[in-house]
Amino acid sequence: MTYSIGEVEELTGIKQNILRYWETVIPGFAPRKDLGGRRVYTERDFEIVLRLKHLIYERKFTIEGARKEILHESQAYENNAEAMNAIRELRTELTQLYFEIKKGRK
């Protein structure tokens, strides 16, 4: 599943200008762009946004500290890829359910 920048903002509460800023300072976080130039966030990009939100807003990391933590975690991620893939699949299913429920309410 992929997400637009607006959907990521809606799901996470992180403003679009902050998401675009994070792209410039977090290595490996660069949502691709479609033919129209719109950002397309993958599940991995979405996970990074959620993790950055947690580190910066809840744990009070600086952006530099969060960047270092993300780099460290990406190395650990490779060591636990199977469990992380299972979590990613569950998150995708839950997100799809969220949008289906939201569509049904309109």
pTM for the structure as a whole? 0.71
Give the pLDDT mean for 9-24: 96
Q: Is the pLDDT of residue 106 over 70?
A: no
| Contact between 51 and 43 (Cβ < 8 Å) | no
pLDDT, one tens digit per residue, over 74-86 is 776 666 777 778 8
Pairing of strands 32-33, 3-4: unpaired
Domains of the chain, first to last: 3-105 (1.10.1660.10)
Give percent of the chain with pLDDT exceeding 70. Answer: 95
| Contact between 31 and 40 (Cβ < 8 Å) | yes
Q: Is the pLDDT of residue 1 over 70?
A: yes
The two tokens of residue 42 are 């993958």
**Residue 18 or 77, more confident:** 18
Backbone angles phi, psi at 27, to 5 degrees: -60, 140
Instruction: Compute the distance between CA of residue 33 and CA of residue 21 in angstroms, rounded to an integer.
Output: 15
